[in-house]
Amino acid sequence: MKTDSPHTPPLTLAAASFAALGSEQRLSVLRTLVRAGPEGLSIGALGDRTGVTGSTLTHHLKLLAATGLVKQERQGRSTICAAVAYDEIQALAHFLMTECCADAQTPCEGHPHG
């Protein structure tokens, strides 16, 4: 049996994170915030870039924040949103790929177990 690396999220954390990303709109919001970098975007700018606005955007941000992928911070009259869990996002990708092709009869090109 394979052991997880220290950077691999536990199964329940990975499931919660993937569930939070289980919406095209939430995935679009997170990708937009990752593109924006650590400075983040105001809610208005995020809505403009993603086409998700109002209470729908608020709902999606709440779910992403609950899993620790996004943070929101008041700056004066604005709320700035930023993707803060770059390591966790990378860990989710690693979680999916860590045992790539481990049980395959045919080697997988370009993958660690291939």
* Lowest mean pLDDT, pick from 11-20, 52-61, 70-79, 100-109: 100-109
Q: What is the pLDDT of residue 86?
A: 82
pLDDT of residue 6 exceeding 60, the answer is no
The pLDDT, as a whole number, for residue 114 is 45
The token pair that represents 26 in the structure block: 């939430």
Domain boundaries, the chain: 11-97
What are 91-111's pLDDT values in tens digits? 888 877 777 777 777 767 766
How much is the average pLDDT of 13-41? 90
Task: Give Cβ neighbours of residue 69 (< 8 Å, ≥ 6 apart).
Answer: 17, 20, 21, 30, 83, 84, 85, 88, 89
- Output the CATH code of domain 11-97: 1.10.10.10
According to DSSP, the β-strands at 41-42 and 78-83 are antiparallel
How far, in Å, CA of 81 to CA of 73, rounded? 7
pLDDT for residue 98: 78
Taking the model in full, what pTM does it have?
A: 0.74
